[in-house]
Chain A
Amino acid sequence: MREEKTIDIDFRQGCKPGDMVLELRNITKRFPGVLANDHINFDVKAGEVHALLGENGAGKTTLMNIIYGLYQPDEGEIYLRGKKVVIRSPLDAIALGIGMVHQRFKLVPSLTVAENIILGLREGGIIGRMKRVVERIEKLSEKYSLQVDPSARIWQLSAGEKQRVEILKMLYRNAQILVLDEPTSILTPAEAEQLSLLLRRMATQEMAVVPFITHKLPEVIATSNRVTVLRRGRVVEEIRTDQTNPRDLARKMVGKSVLFQLKKPEIAPGDPVLEIKNLRALNDKGIMALKGISLTIRESEILGIAGVAGNGQSELAEVIAGLRGVLSGEIIFSGEDITGLSTRRRIEKGIGHIPEEYMIGVVPDFSVADNLVLDKYFEKPFSRRWGLDHKAVERFAEEMIPRYNIRTPSKETPAIHLSGGNLQKLILAREISHHPRLLITNLPTHGLDVGAAEFIQNQLLALKLEKCAILLISEDLDEIMSVSDRIAVFYEGRITGMVPAAEAVKDNLGAWMAGVKL
């Protein structure tokens, strides 16, 4: 099985735009209980950006991992410029000119940019010639306008910079096919736009072929020449981008036509539920993250917090949930000072929390049923004297799974096997079923597909009918503007602007997010 090991394909020679470069035929991949890829056909031509679109769990990441040699397909073949290849490892993929930029960056935080770029390369035994490496990196960054300091350490970089390092890493390896998994999910809108431009330029100038995987529709339209839509492991459509529109693609992606419709209940805000006065708190690195935050949320009101990640929003959520200490200031919940209360007491008082990452919100190895009662296992009917009533826990799970449309093989399945959207639904089911008076939601739809995101947004809106106050932290301005009643913008630990959602103008919000005073 080693005969196809060395394949010398020089893409630059005799490769015209439109030439078939990579072709996947009938790719099938099974995981226990899931058919992740079901006879998928997918091809990439030189000079184009081919987007792969699909919901979470549709099989995009699996397919990309197959292209990159992290998984072996159970069935099907991969052809590179007409030659059949077997990609056994990322090393094989790199040797074949396939570079991958993962959703989560694969960079070693304590190493420098240059060290990360040459990591795994076979050139040179001793890194005495680091200077040459740095020179080549600088040349590449100039050519593709990917500014980054080669001697900086990864942990010092922003998300956008890390992504540029990942792309440089692949270019340094002479990648001709660049695969990007959800490339804009951690970028600011401006950075995302920049990336979109960059990818298009790379595709046309250098014959670098870029399949671009995402579920963000406007980006697909803006960046790609062709789109393949995946749903539940199957290709449902392959179409030229200029022959389609976002609504059409969305419908094909989720398989139903009701979309972009939020049911906003008409209900006036009531009494204040949460009052925060002059709150100051540190972040994990010991730097001031909240520099005197004051805000109020009322019953049946959704306060949206907009801002670029890392401006104190997550710290605010943690402080209210009781996961982070305060330096000064007060947190008043229903007229009572809860600044010093434990997280458990806050939960009992009716504060729900949907954390930033769904893996933090669940115990990955616990079953779906157990995860559903994490915040109430100590209450009746789940707790009886000394033990748990497993029957009650199971009954509760049987009720919640269909109600919140959690797609899981069974209630006993460990949470770790669920996709992101379903985990988020699980967490939402758990928090809402506790009838919170205040729900803190940090990026509740982040990384979710359109269908799951809309479901969650509608659930949040429905909570207003139960007089729940909601703090919605989001980086998605469209979400903030369509879901919240009022919007506060965070910049460097301060609120730079606060406005009723009905009067909000996107440009103004954007300016506040950038710290511009209006």
Chain B
Amino acid sequence: MDTIILIMQAATLFIFGTMGEVLSQRSGVLNLGLEGMMVVGSLTGFAAATLSGSPWIGLAAAMIAGGLMSLIHGFIVITLRQSQVVSGMALTIFGLGLTAYVGKHFLMVGAPPRVPTIVSGITPLLFLGLALVPLTWFVIYRTRFGLIVRAVGEDPEAADTAGINVARVRYICVFIGGMMAGLAGAYLSLAYSPMWREGMTAGRGWICIALAFFSMWRPAMVLIGAELFGGLWILQFKLQGMDIPVISSIFTSPYLLMMIPYLATVLIVTLVMSNEKLRKRIGGPAALGVPYERSS
């Protein structure tokens, strides 16, 4: 039972980050800056909560910070129509560097005010994560906004002709994605492991991006993927704690065990992306990564 809760707690972060990325990608914008926005969210959340004394203010500040950062990406790729890959990578590097520098002041602060738990270590954020799954599904498939987002990600020219402001829709989706990344980061520093440490996101942002592909942009699959990776994350800790004499010490090396989630990421992305038939059938956003410009 404890293990299940542990897994779900780890998974909540993946749900936040991935759901935001899914929305962004559904509108046609790949945001590789997730890791950067997430770590900025961690620090902002930590700092705001420590200074104000309220974890909720920390969460809100983190979401705003993540959202603002995503707007940089939005401006570069939507307005200036530059490469989404380059811009996203730059955002990640920027976020990691900025937090390493600014975060120095918060290294020795101690534990922040944490998000209160309801029962035995479960925070309301865990339920928020679970609630996001049907909510996002409803928004994408059952609302006018969702229809517009799908159209913009699939065929921006058709959407433009239908009178939809492609740039605005993409900005909105990217911004929500940024806020979700900020939330994921603050969840880490205010609830999951309440502290601040340089680079504490430890590649979770990248895993979220992989999960977005793995989920094939479907909210239900985001939940499954997040729980799966939450499981792998916990497994890695559990294995480290166990003494398995049969297997040689190389395989129980903590460094190798820590690779498990990342290895799984590589495997899954390779499997999903290399299967052309699968990709066509699941119908990912056809215009993903392509800047939109009116042609003559």
Residues of A within 8 A of B142 (CB): 126-128
Contact flags B141-161 to A (C-beta < 8 A → 1, else 0): 011110110110011011111
Structural contact, B143 and A110, CB atoms closer than 8 A: no
CA of A12 to CA of B150 in the docked complex: distance in angstroms?
35
CB of B163 closer than 8 Å to a CB of A: yes
Of the candidate stretches A87-95, A239-247, A260-268, A393-401, the one touching chain B is A87-95
Structural contact, A119 and B143, CB atoms closer than 8 A: no
Residues of B within 8 A of A125 (CB): 143-145
Residues of A within 8 A of B164 (CB): 119-120
Contact flags B115-149 to A (C-beta < 8 A → 1, else 0): 00000000000000000000000000011110110
How many chain A residues touch B (CB < 8 A): the figure is 27
Residue of B nearest to A125 (CB): B144
CB of B254 closer than 8 Å to a CB of A: no
Most chain A beta carbons < 10 A, residue from B145, B154, B163? B163
CA of A81 to CA of B160 in the docked complex: distance in angstroms?
26
Structural contact, B296 and A31, CB atoms closer than 8 A: yes
CB of B105 closer than 8 Å to a CB of A: no
Cβ of B77 to closest chain A Cβ, rounded Å:
20
CB of A111 closer than 8 Å to a CB of B: yes
Given contacts A70-B294, A119-B148, contact A106 B143 (CB under 8 A): no
Identify which of A89, A91, A108, A124 contacts B155 (C-beta below 8 A).
A108
CA of A230 to CA of B158 in the docked complex: distance in angstroms?
27
Identify which of B145, B158, B163 contacts A91 (C-beta below 8 A).
B163
Residues of A within 8 A of B162 (CB): 90, 106, 119-120, 169
Residue of B nearest to A120 (CB): B162
Structural contact, B144 and A126, CB atoms closer than 8 A: yes
Residue of B nearest to A115 (CB): B147
Residues of B within 8 A of A127 (CB): 142-144, 147
Interface size class of B (residues with CB under 8 A): 20 to 34
Residues of A within 8 A of B53 (CB): none
Cβ of B283 to closest chain A Cβ, rounded Å:
5
Could you count the A-B residue pairs with CB atoms below 8 Å apart for me: how many are there? 67
Residues of B within 8 A of A109 (CB): 154-155, 286
Structural contact, A108 and B150, CB atoms closer than 8 A: yes
Residues of B within 8 A of A111 (CB): 147, 150-151, 154
Residue of B nearest to A122 (CB): B144
Structural contact, A108 and B161, CB atoms closer than 8 A: no
Residues of B within 8 A of A106 (CB): 155, 157-158, 161-162
CB of A107 closer than 8 Å to a CB of B: yes
CA of A89 to CA of B165 in the docked complex: distance in angstroms?
10
CA of A291 to CA of B103 in the docked complex: distance in angstroms?
68
Structural contact, B144 and A102, CB atoms closer than 8 A: no
- Give chain B interface residues in 279-296, CB to chain A under 8 Å: 283, 286, 294, 296
CB of A100 closer than 8 Å to a CB of B: yes
Residue of B nearest to A91 (CB): B163
Structural contact, B163 and A89, CB atoms closer than 8 A: yes
CA of A102 to CA of B295 in the docked complex: distance in angstroms?
13
A-B residue pairs, 3 tightest by C-beta: A120-B162, A91-B163, A106-B161
A-B contacts besides A100-B161, A115-B147, A125-B145, 8 pairs, CB < 8 Å: A70-B161, A89-B163, A90-B162, A107-B155, A118-B144, A118-B147, A120-B162, A127-B142
